Amino acid sequence: MPSKKYDDAKATKKSSRPVRSESPNIEVSRRTSNKIERNMERTIKKNFGIAAIICFILFLIVGGLTGFFVLRNDKFEMNAYSNGEVDIYIGEEEEFQEYKELGVVCKFLGKDISDDVKITYKYREDISFDPVEVDGVDVNTSGIYYAIYTIDHFKYKDITLIRNIIVLREED
C-alpha cells in the first residue's frame, strides 16, 4: 500500500466554498480569510494612527521653524542717541543741548510700519506733579518730558515705549 501523504490529514475543516487568496494554488478557508482581513484592518488602523501622529509632529516642527524665520526680524524699539542711550539729559552742562526726536523702528513680517506709530508728549515739573499732555519738548523749560510711542497694530497693541527726556536748566 502506498504511503499516505501528510496533506490528507489536515486538522482544519474545509468549507464548502474555498476562498482563493491572491497567491495562486493556495486555498484558504472562509474563517481563516476573515481572520486575516481583521488582522489587516487592525494593522492598517494602527499604522494610520502612527502615521497621523508623525505627520502632526512634522507639521508642528515645520510651522514652528517657518514662524521663527519669518518673525525673527520683527521689532518695536526706540532708536538710541549717539551715547547709546534711549533716554536723554538736556542742559547747559550736559552732552546734549537740543532735543531731536529719533523715533522708533517698528517692523512686522519684514515690512517697516514705523509710520503708523503715534507719539504723544507729557510733561511734569518734577516727580511730585502729575504729567500733563504737551505738544512737544521745550528745551528752555526744566522738567521731565515723556515721549510715549504707541501703535494700533495687533501684534504691538499692548506695548508702549516711553523715552524720558530730562531738561536741566538753571533757574534765574
pLDDT of residue 172: 44
Same domain, yes or no, for 94 and 160?
yes
User: Residue 161: which CATH number?
Assistant: 2.60.40
The domain boundary residue, chosen from 11, 42, 71: 71
Task: Verify that 134 and 50 share a domain, yes or no.
Answer: no
Domain boundary among the residues 37, 53, 71 is at: 71
**pLDDT score for 120:** 93
Could you give the CA distance from residue 165 to residue 121 in angstroms, rounded to a whole number?
Answer: 10
**Whether 93 and 159 share a structural domain:** yes
Distance CA 143, CA 124 (A): 6
**Nearest by Cα to 105 from 68, 145, 149:** 149
CA–CA dist 4, 113 (Å, integer): 92
* Residues 86 and 158 placed together within one structural domain of the fold: yes
Specify the DSSP class assigned to residue 93: T
Answer yes or no: do 54 and 122 share one domain.
no
Verify that 142 and 157 share a domain, yes or no: yes
Within this chain, do residues 66 and 117 fall inside the same structural domain, yes or no? no
Instruction: Give residue 122's pLDDT.
Output: 94
Whether 30 is covered by a domain: the verdict is: yes
**Same domain? 128 vs 64:** no
Q: Are 157 and 134 in the same domain?
A: yes
Q: Is residue 14 in some structural domain?
A: no
Please, which pLDDT band fits residue 146 given cuts at 50, 70 and 90? very high
The fraction of the chain above a pLDDT of 90, given in percent, is 14
Write 69-73 long-range contacts (CB < 8 A, 24+): 70/109, 70/110, 71/109, 73/107, 73/110
Indicate the average pLDDT of the chain: 79
Question: What confidence score (pLDDT) does residue 79 get?
Answer: 85
pLDDT band at 133 (very low <50, low <70, confident <90, very high): very high
Clarify whether residues 66 and 83 are in a common domain: no
In the predicted structure, residue 17 carries a pLDDT above the cut 70: no
Residues 58, 142 within the same domain: no
pLDDT at 16: 53
The secondary structure element, H or E, covering residue 111 is: strand 111-112
* Cβ–Cβ under 8 Å, residues 109 and 74: yes
| Domain count across the chain | 2
pLDDT above 70 coverage of the chain, percent: 82
Q: What 3-state DSSP class applies to 39?
A: helix
pLDDT single digits (tens) 57-103: 999 998 888 877 777 788 888 888 877 788 888 887 777 788 888 88
- Which residues on adjacent β-strands are paired with residue 134? 121
pLDDT tens digit sequence for 24-54: 556 667 777 777 777 787 777 777 778 888 8
4 falls within a domain: no
pLDDT of 2 > 60? The answer is no
> Are 62 and 82 contained in the same domain?
no
Q: Give the C-alpha separation, 57 to 50, whole Å.
A: 11
pTM for the model stands at: 0.61
Domain interval for residue 37: 19-71
